[in-house]
Amino acid sequence: MSLSSEQLLVRSPVVVLVESKNENLRSGLAQCIAEMVAAQLFNERGGNQIKAIYGAVTIGTIWQFLKLEGNVVSIDLSEYYIKDIKKILGILYGAIAQSKP
């Protein structure tokens, strides 16, 4: 998800990444972190200094959230189930809202 109004191409600033995995959330954490670091570099090269990059790993029915600030990754140890879709959408909305200038 990006704060850019462009919809067909990824443009800076990127604020949220979602990594989808089959059956195992933990197997997606490292890949999501790598994508978050790449988004951070992408934003910097685009002249957009976003304070934090947010990430999520999901198997569709279960979600886990991450945050990258500088060189520090924080992983929310809670797992959010699709039955709590309002909470999941609230977390995603919060990440985007916090990233707006």
Question: Tokens 């197997």 label which residue?
Answer: 27
What is the pTM for the complete model shown?
Answer: 0.83
Highest-confidence segment of 53-57, 81-85, 93-97? 81-85
Q: Are 17 and 33 in contact (CB under 8 A)?
A: no
Helix, strand or coil, per DSSP, at residue 29: helix
Q: Are 14 and 28 in contact (CB under 8 A)?
A: no
What residue ranges do the domains of the chain occupy?
A: 16-99
Taking alpha carbons only, the member of 81, 33, 22 closest to residue 56 is: 33
9: pLDDT strictly greater than 70? no
Dump pLDDT digits (tens) for 31-72: 999 999 998 998 888 888 788 999 999 998 999 999 999 999
